[in-house]
Every structure is written in structure tokens, then in C-alpha cells.
Amino acid sequence: MPDLAERLVELCGARGVRRGEAVKALDPGFHKDNLSADLAVFPETTAMVAAVVALCRSEGVAIVPQGGRTGIAGGAATAPRSLILSLSRMQRILTLDPLARTALVEAGVTLGALQQAAAAHALVPGIDIGARDSATIGGMISTNAGGSEAFRYGTMRQRVLGLEAVLPDGTVLSDLTQVAKANEGYDVKQLLIGAEGTLGIVTRAVLRLSGSPANRVSALAACPSAAAALAALDRLQRRPGLALIAAEAMWRDHLVVTAKSNGLDALASFAEAPLYILFEAGGDDEDAVRAAFETALADAVEANEIVDVVIAANLAQRTDLWRLREDWAVDRAFPGGLWFDISVPLAALDATVAAMTRRVAAHDPRHRVFIIGHLADGNLHVTVNAPSPIRDVYDEVAPLIYTGLKEIGGSFSAEHGIGLEKRAALQRYGDPGKLALMRQIKHLLDPDGLMNPGKVLLP
Amino acid sequence: MPDLAERLVELCGARGVRRGEAVKALDPGFHKDNLSADLAVFPETTAMVAAVVALCRSEGVAIVPQGGRTGIAGGAATAPRSLILSLSRMQRILTLDPLARTALVEAGVTLGALQQAAAAHALVPGIDIGARDSATIGGMISTNAGGSEAFRYGTMRQRVLGLEAVLPDGTVLSDLTQVAKANEGYDVKQLLIGAEGTLGIVTRAVLRLSGSPANRVSALAACPSAAAALAALDRLQRRPGLALIAAEAMWRDHLVVTAKSNGLDALASFAEAPLYILFEAGGDDEDAVRAAFETALADAVEANEIVDVVIAANLAQRTDLWRLREDWAVDRAFPGGLWFDISVPLAALDATVAAMTRRVAAHDPRHRVFIIGHLADGNLHVTVNAPSPIRDVYDEVAPLIYTGLKEIGGSFSAEHGIGLEKRAALQRYGDPGKLALMRQIKHLLDPDGLMNPGKVLLP
């Protein structure tokens, strides 16, 4: 009897299968165990995916679906005897209708490729993340990706009109609706969105596209508090003629380390404040946007919502501002730190940051808290660092960050997913009724537990 | 042993229970069987709802949750021995945070009440429907309501951040997140959204609010085709300084009947065209919006996207334009007609309308097709009418409307729900894999089949 690899070659062709060292030659992405499996298959069609899933089910082989491997919570991590099912050969943009503002794409299309195709029609997918050139649409659906534009266009869940997925039993769930309104009973495709591949494999999707302003202007505002920053945000959102595209937050420690690491010291010292917001506004006429933006920012300074502000005068300055937000200088300076990804109701931002920082300092005075985030979503990316790596104290530190979030309507898991890393937190902070339902649904769809096993729910 | 009504009085108080004729004295809403039950309970808290559900489960009593009873597909219809569970005494707006742009409300709050509370902060719930003063948030969540602003703000599913519901076993699913990004495993609350009360009873929700332009200008545009109207729509959506709020479509027969019935003959004859679009644009400065709107509409006329256009000069004229769209003159002129509610991919609008009209005419030349809808969603409300009532030929006519929609990514059920009326259509046009999953999920959550029985899925 042929071994699994040979049968996969029968299904997907010799080019569609990699073993052993050829698996390790792939880009490992952002988690150390992404390529621990010995075998990987690269189907080219939904039918091939379904055939592979059916084969694996009959053979009792665990499948780990992989997109761009840019997740950092371990959702794509593999064990040696599991099979990687990569969507990387399904990367066609099948249709893009600029008037209907929809695109039908295969799951392996990268966000960057879709952004490029949409830009030809002055449209955007409405999601933007740093890993845009590696992250795939299928992976972003499976993690319900958010990013910097979510406050304006929604998270991935809001961008998905239609979805096709191969379920753990090898059947195809086909709901490739092209329309915004389709109420045909329970919207079961929503279960697949954010399930991190544990309930099936997303193979194709219909995405909503949105109009995009032709020009963008960025500004860095120093704010006396998150409450003040929110007042400025509200002001900018309400300003006629401005489309606010980003409101990225950086608390001061992050700004200082990142600015210095990038030779941008002037941006670390233009104004002393606890936090800084990178506002970006868009419009079709650059001069008009700039004028409206400048006026609104000046009004915010006048109202003490902003201490001082630097407006990028050109593309080079705009790139510098974004580097402050996106560069990983803090991680280079403090390797081996702990990453957290939380959501905080906006009214509680200042109090939450203060309490969290106090708890960490009380726990270990050598620990430092760095915070960046997406202001309008209350989504904070918190890193806890120390002079030497502290990965081994994750379980001690996590409660210092998560305590009290659930009670105020926040979340210990904003946009990076549960994967392996946050399973214990989900068990601890999740609603018991919801957790019970999740387990029942997992058992219903995947009774053998072969679809991305061990992820999201603790065994 | 006390009877059910007495035990309900123990749980919810004497004011919280109605029997017999006191039930019939309620507003029946839009379906003839909404008040066929002999008993109704009006809990005031989530705990009361849970207690009633637990009691009914132990007694084997079927529950029909009711909001504003404005659904037209029979989702709230009752049988004599079932219990109406009305959310009408849960109508508090618990919090409304204007900076965070969120509101926590009880399920019985009407859309109109929330609109009014939000308007005090120049915000909107982002959903608007004609039945705004009766329809409740819980009912709108349970049907995933859409309406005229969905193309801009999304349907109800996109407006719900957090949800609390009593499940059929009497447990409470609590997911009252206040934030836009919360990925904590399978988003099971999505199952409740659009389930029409068959999987549980929505008791509270956190809704997203959005900024609202202070001023609105409306225009009626006569268009040579839907394709041309879509080009005009795209032009208006891209116009700097304009926020497009509505693009409501009326095919000519609807316009003529409704205009004449309302003494607005001039609006029926200002330009001869197959369809008319009621565009509405908003902005903070009325003069600026009007100027931008006029210029864009003139450009659209120049480009032959619009044949001719009437711009409302004042509130009275604006009200007249909306009356053309919202008045039910066609139903008064042709009582006993058939209503359909479909979604069509935008590129297929002209061909679909033509083919559908042809099929109906070929079936019975006495039948007339009237069409209105939401252009940007491809959502058409189609009525088929004849000189005398034709309700008895629904099963013959429905396939003439629905044929081919699924294949092109449209839907036979856009925003009015399945209820009783479209169960056969769902069985016929629904994806078999999805239908199987729906039945499994229904059985998982409601094994006794007591929660709004007989709705959505055929027994």
C-alpha cells in the first residue's frame, strides 16, 4: 500500500507535495514550529483540498492549514507527524468588480496582491496589516484580522460577503454570495471566520472592497492622555472633507526607543507626553485634505486634546512617522519579551494602562511595559520586557495584563488569535456557556479532532 | 399544581403576563398569526427570560420570542398553545458612550428610541428601516436587518459588537464585549444573529454607532438602466465632500402608481426612464453638500448615467421624494399581491430584472411586477400583483423570481428573513452542506425543538 506522500502526489501532483528537508526549506514565518511537520501538500483547487481532507480523515492524519505563516500565536504550528496543507498555490484573484466593489479570490492570495489589484480601481480591501505581503486572505479570514483601518472599514469578518470552505469531513461548504444582504438561515460561515482552521479550511472568499482616498496626510500628535486623544479623534472623524484612515497609538517608551533606533531623535523629543497618536487623513485633493487636517489639529491643540503636533510635509516624513509605529526596535532592544494583544473599552484606556503598568512594576521592578495600538478600537499591543529574556514567566505576567478586562467588556485576545498561546487564557476568561458551545461545535464538525488539532481549545 | 400562567406570574409578576383576550389586544403587527397564542409573558430582566425559558423547557411549552412584530415572513407567528415571550418591557438604553461610539441596550428598545438617543450626539445606529418606531433591536438582530443605509454602515450583523442571549436550555450566553476587536475562539453569537429566535432569545446587545452628517440633500434621478445608475452611484460615492447616505431604486411602474396615488404626478412624468434612483447625500454644511451634489449629478447627466434629475429644494420636497419610495400605494392598489425580497449581484441587475419580468408575463399576462430596492446592495423588493388577489399562486410564482439567483451569487432572501414563508425556498435553493449543518446546530442547541418551532427550517 502506498504511503501517504505517494497518495498525496496522486491527488495533487509531484509539484504539490514536499517532504522532509524540502518542507524545512519553506519560509518558516513567525512561529518556531510552523515547519515541524515532515510533509506538506499544496493543492491547486478546492476539489483537491477536499480530496486531501477526505484522505487524511480516512487515514487518521492531522492537518494544519497554513496561509502566510505570519500569525504569532501559534495557530499554524505543526507537530512532526501532522500534514501541512498550504494554500499557497491557490492564489488567483478570480473576479474583481469595481462597480459592485467585490472580489472573488482564492484563499492563498496575499493581502498585498489584492491591495494592488484593487488599487487599480482606487479601491482597497479595507484591511491593512504590517505583514501584508505574506499574509493570505484565507489566513486573515481564519484569524479575523483587524489592523490599522478596522475602525473605519471593520475587521475581516465585516469584509467577507461569501465563503467557501472544506469541512473536516471533506465536504464543501459553499456560500459564495456576492451580495451584502443574504439571510438564508443560520450564517454558519461565520463559525469558520476566526476559527483558525480548526473547523475547516477556507478555500475561496468574496470580499467587499471600499473606496480609497487618493491622497493621505500623516501627523504625529502628542497627547496628555488617551481620553484627550479620543476627543481629538472624535474631532477629526467629524471634520467635513476629511476621511480619517488611521489613529495609531504609541505610548512614550515605545516612541523613544523606536525613534532613537531609527535615527529619528527629533521625533522623540518634540513634545513630552504620555502618548502619541499617528493620525492619517485621506482625501482626493491633497491640498484640501492638508488644510482641513491642519485646521482640525490646531483646534485640538487649542482644546488641549493635543499638546503639540508634527505634520509630515512629504512622503519621506510620512514614512518616518510610520516607521515609529511599525518598526520592531523594542523587540530588537529587548529580545525574549512577552507579547500581549488586548482590547480595552475606550473610556477605560487611561485607567487600564495605568493599572496594568503598576501591576507589572509591582511584580518585578526590572520589567518594562511598552504599548502601541489602534486607538479607535482600544486595541493595545503590549510587550513586557526585561534586560534578559523572560519568556519563561509568561504565565505569571499574563494575568497582570488580563485582569479586569472581561468585566469591563474588553478582551484578552484582540486580533492575533488564540492559537496555542492563549488557550489557557481563553479557558480562564471565556464565558463558560460560550466555551461549552465551542466544544460542542468542534465535536460536531470534527469528531475525530484532525483539523488543526490542539489549537484554540485546550485538549 | 398551578397552571403555566400562574407560574409565569410568580416569575414575572401579574403585570408581566397576559392571557386570552388581553393577548389579542396587543398590536398584532404585520402577520396575521402573531397573536394566535393564548398566553404572553413580558419579562423585565435577562434573569426573568432565563427563568421563563427553563420553566417552558421543563413543561414542554413552545416559546415564540417577539420584538416589534414588524416582520413580514412570519418569524413571530404563533400557534394557540405556544407562549409569546415579548421583550417589550426590556427597553432601557443602559449606556451610550459618544466617544467610543457604542450603546448597550436591552432587546426591546425600538430602533427609533435608539436613533433619538444617538442623535443627541450627532450619531446614528447605522441602520434605518421604515418600521423604525416599532421594530426592536432584538428583533432586528434576530433578522439581521438591513434597510436603506446598509451599503454604507453594514447590516445589523456588522453593527453588533456584543450580545447576550438566553439559549433554549435556559442558560445565558454572555458576550457583551464593548470593543471592535475580540477574537476569543468561535464567534458563536453570530449564530444568533439572523436566526429569527430559533436558537435563543436575544436579551441585550452592544451596538456600534456612527457619525452622522448634520444635513441631507435628496434627489430623484431617472436612469436609462441599472448599469448606468451604478456608474452614477460610483461617481457620487467618490465625490469629495459628499457622504452618500441612500441610493434607493424604484422601477417605473412603482413610481407612476405611487406618485399618482400621492398627488405627485409631476414626479411621475419629469423624465421617462425604466428606473429612478432616490439619492441622498449628507454633509455638515448644507450649502457645500448641495453644491457638490449638484455638480456630481450634472456630471452624471453629462455622462448619460442619468437622463434627468430633480433635486429637493427643501424639506417638503425631500419628504415627497421619500414618500415615493416608502408609501405602500402599490399594495393599496393591488391587495393580495405576492412579495419577494431578493439580492442580485450588481452587474446582473438589468438582466435579472428583464428575465424575471419576462418569466412572470409568460406565466400569466395579467400579472404585473413592481420593483423597488436598495441599489448599492442589489437588494430588490419585488411584488407581483394582479387585478384580484393572487396569494394562492405563491408557490407557482416564487420560482419565476428566484430562478438563477443562487448560481450568480445572489439570494432569494435578502433582509426580511425566512420565517414561515421562505422555508421551502431555503430547502430548495440552500447549499445542502449548509442546510445539514443548520439542522445539526438547531438540534445541538434546541434538542426539544421548543424555541420558535417551525420557523426557518421545515420540520
Q: Are A409 and B185 a contacting pair at CB < 8 A? A: no
B205: nearest CA partner in chain A: A409
Q: Are A182 and B411 a contacting pair at CB < 8 A? A: yes
Instruction: Quick: pLDDT tens for B405-446.
Output: 999 999 999 999 999 999 999 999 999 999 999 999 999 999
Residue A2 pLDDT greater than 80, yes or no: no
Residue B340: predicted pLDDT: 97
CA–CA separation, B296 and B242 (whole Å): 9
Residue B1 pLDDT greater than 70, yes or no: no
Please list every residue in chain B whose beta carbon sits closer than 8 Å to the beta carbon of residue A206: 409
In this structure, the strands spanning A83-86 and A102-106 are: unpaired
C-alpha distance from residue B337 to each of A221, B365, B391, B414, B417 (Å): 60, 15, 6, 19, 18
CA–CA separation, A145 and A156 (whole Å): 5
Confidence bin at B285 (pLDDT 50/70/90): confident
Q: What's the N-to-C CA distance of chain A in angstroms?
A: 32
CA–CA separation, B64 and B76 (whole Å): 6
Size of interface A-B (CB pairs under 8 A): 282
CA–CA separation, B435 and B420 (whole Å): 16
**B393 Cβ under 8 Å from any chain A Cβ:** no
The beta-carbon neighbor of B240 closest among A179, A233, A284 is A284
Please list every residue in chain B whose beta carbon sits closer than 8 Å to the beta carbon of residue A129: none
Largest CA distance in chain B: 78
C-alpha distance from residue A206 to each of A96, A127, A167, A411, B159 (Å): 9, 14, 18, 28, 20
**B378 Cβ under 8 Å from any chain A Cβ:** yes
Please list every residue in chain B whose beta carbon sits closer than 8 Å to the beta carbon of residue A231: 99
Cβ-contact A179, B414 below 8 angstroms:
yes
Look at residues B43, B26, B44 and name the one whose alpha carbon lies nearest to residue B35: B26
Residues 6+ apart with CB under 8 A from B232: B221, B223, B277, B279, B297, B300, B305, B306
Please list every residue in chain A whose beta carbon sits closer than 8 Å to the beta carbon of residue B377: 179-181
Residue A76: predicted pLDDT: 97
Q: Where are the beta strands (DSSP E) in B31-169?
A: 39-41, 63-66, 83-86, 93-97, 102-106, 123-124, 160-166
Most B CBs within 10 A among A101, A172, A181, hence the mutation to make, goes to A181
Cβ-contact B78, B37 below 8 angstroms:
yes
What predicted TM-score, i.e. pTM, was given to this entire model?
Answer: 0.97
In this structure, the strands spanning B39-41 and B83-86 are: parallel
Cβ-contact B288, B297 below 8 angstroms:
no
Q: Tell me how close the Cα of A314 comes to any Cα of chain B, in angstroms.
A: 22
B240: nearest CA partner in chain A: A284
C-alpha cell at A265: 531623535
The beta-carbon neighbor of A180 closest among B155, B173, B435 is B155
DSSP 8-state class, residue A122:
T
Residue B283: predicted pLDDT: 85
Residue B300: predicted pLDDT: 98
Cβ-contact A403, A359 below 8 angstroms:
yes
CA–CA separation, B419 and B196 (whole Å): 7
Most A CBs within 10 A among B46, B181, B437, hence the mutation to make, goes to B181
In this structure, the strands spanning A160-166 and A201-208 are: antiparallel
**B45 Cβ under 8 Å from any chain A Cβ:** no
Computed over every residue of chain B, the mean pLDDT equals: 96
DSSP 8-state class, residue A451:
B
Q: Tell me how close the Cα of B25 comes to any Cα of chain A, in angstroms.
A: 31
Enumerate the β-bridge partners of residue B201: B166
Residue B2: predicted pLDDT: 67
State the average pLDDT over residues B34-54. 98
The beta-carbon neighbor of A431 closest among B174, B377, B442 is B174
Residue A283: predicted pLDDT: 85
CA–CA separation, A245 and A248 (whole Å): 10
Look at residues B5, B31, B9, B3 and name the one whose alpha carbon lies nearest to residue B20: B5
Q: Are A185 and B430 a contacting pair at CB < 8 A? A: yes
Please list every residue in chain B whose beta carbon sits closer than 8 Å to the beta carbon of residue A100: 230, 345-347, 378
CA–CA separation, B106 and B90 (whole Å): 5
Q: Which of helix, strand or coil describes residue B406?
A: helix
Top-confidence residue, A239 or B299: B299
Confidence bin at B366 (pLDDT 50/70/90): very high
Please list every residue in chain B whose beta carbon sits closer than 8 Å to the beta carbon of residue A435: 185
C-alpha cell at B32: 396575521
Percent above pLDDT 70 for chain B? 100
Give the length of chain A.
Answer: 459
The beta-carbon neighbor of A410 closest among B144, B179, B442 is B179
Q: Are A181 and B430 a contacting pair at CB < 8 A? A: no
Compute the radius of gyration of chain B from its Cα atoms.
23
Q: Are B194 and A178 a contacting pair at CB < 8 A? A: no
Cβ-contact A182, A169 below 8 angstroms:
no
B349: nearest CA partner in chain A: A100
**A438 Cβ under 8 Å from any chain B Cβ:** yes
Computed over every residue of chain A, the mean pLDDT equals: 96
Cβ-contact A279, A222 below 8 angstroms:
no
Q: What is the DSSP string of A137-182?
A: HHHHHHTT--BTTHHHH--HHHHEEEEEEE-TTS-EEEE---SS--
In this structure, the strands spanning B93-97 and B102-106 are: antiparallel
C-alpha distance from residue B351 to each of A99, B354, B364, B412 (Å): 16, 5, 20, 16
**B405 Cβ under 8 Å from any chain A Cβ:** no
CA–CA separation, A289 and A239 (whole Å): 10
Residues 6+ apart with CB under 8 A from B334: B368, B383, B385, B386, B387
Instruction: Quick: pLDDT tens for B116-155.
Output: 999 999 999 999 998 999 999 999 999 999 999 999 999 9
Q: Are A99 and B411 a contacting pair at CB < 8 A? A: no
Instruction: Quick: pLDDT tens for B181-213.
Output: 999 999 999 999 999 999 999 999 999 999 988
Look at residues A30, A137, A8 and name the one whose alpha carbon lies nearest to residue A77: A30
Look at residues B234, B242, B177, B241 and name the one whose alpha carbon lies nearest to residue B204: B177
The beta-carbon neighbor of B417 closest among A99, A183, A433 is A183
**A155 Cβ under 8 Å from any chain B Cβ:** yes
Residues 6+ apart with CB under 8 A from B298: none
The beta-carbon neighbor of B377 closest among A179, A194, A438 is A179
**B16 Cβ under 8 Å from any chain A Cβ:** no
Q: Are A429 and B184 a contacting pair at CB < 8 A? A: yes
Please list every residue in chain A whose beta carbon sits closer than 8 Å to the beta carbon of residue B249: none
Please list every residue in chain A whose beta carbon sits closer than 8 Å to the beta carbon of residue B441: 186, 188, 441, 444
Enumerate the β-bridge partners of residue A130: none
Instruction: Quick: pLDDT tens for A141-179.
Output: 999 999 999 999 999 999 999 999 999 999 999 999 999
